[in-house]
Amino acid sequence: MVEPVDPLQRLPFGARGPLLDHLSRLRHDLGKYVSLQVRWLGASPPPEALRQAMMADLLETHRGPGGGIDAPTVWAGLRPALVGEVPLDDTITVDLSGDVDFERLDDAMARISGVVRDLRGGVDGPQTVATGIEAARTVSDACRALWSRLRGG
């Protein structure tokens, strides 16, 4: 059986720096804020507080003067450079498809997209909240893991 090749170990020449910059933005803009409010609640928060925090995390992942941007929209702006659809800079293109942490991240973001659709449709019950929180934690972990692996730690 052939061992899979780690996409982070077969980067094109000169890609490490631009990819590390992009993964730093990913870790900060998505990985940090997709579960920020939920993390602040601590252990055993009231269900309503948990629901509100999860909704804030997923529906307003990025906040700015123009308002909030949801997690799937943040991901849509970052993902193309990670799968070779657009270059990281003027010339360097990478494709992390198949990387275990990238796939965890991509799968979790697909679940979050479903949760966001549910929330916008008025479905915000305990199962939706649990799915959103679990997926957001996976996103945070996977963003951190990708960044850490490329950094060498």
Q: What is the pLDDT of residues 113-138, one digit of tens each?
A: 999 999 999 999 999 999 999 999 99
Torsion of CA 55, 61, 63, 69, to 10 degrees: -90
133 within 8 A of 55, measured Cβ to Cβ: no
CA distance 89 to 14: 10
pLDDT at 4 over 60: yes
CA distance 36 to 61: 9
Q: What is the pLDDT of residues 12-70, one digit of tens each?
A: 889 999 999 999 999 999 999 999 999 999 889 999 999 999 999 999 999 888 889 99
**To 5 degrees, how large is the angle CA 8–CA 13–CA 18?**
70
Non-local CB neighbours of 129 within 8 Å, separated by 6+ positions: 47, 50, 51, 54
Q: What is the pLDDT of residues 58-109, one digit of tens each?
A: 999 998 888 899 999 999 999 999 999 999 988 899 999 999 999 999 999 9
**3-state DSSP assignment of residue 64:** strand
35 within 8 A of 139, measured Cβ to Cβ: yes
pTM summary value: 0.93
| In the block, residue with structure tokens 């730690």 | 153
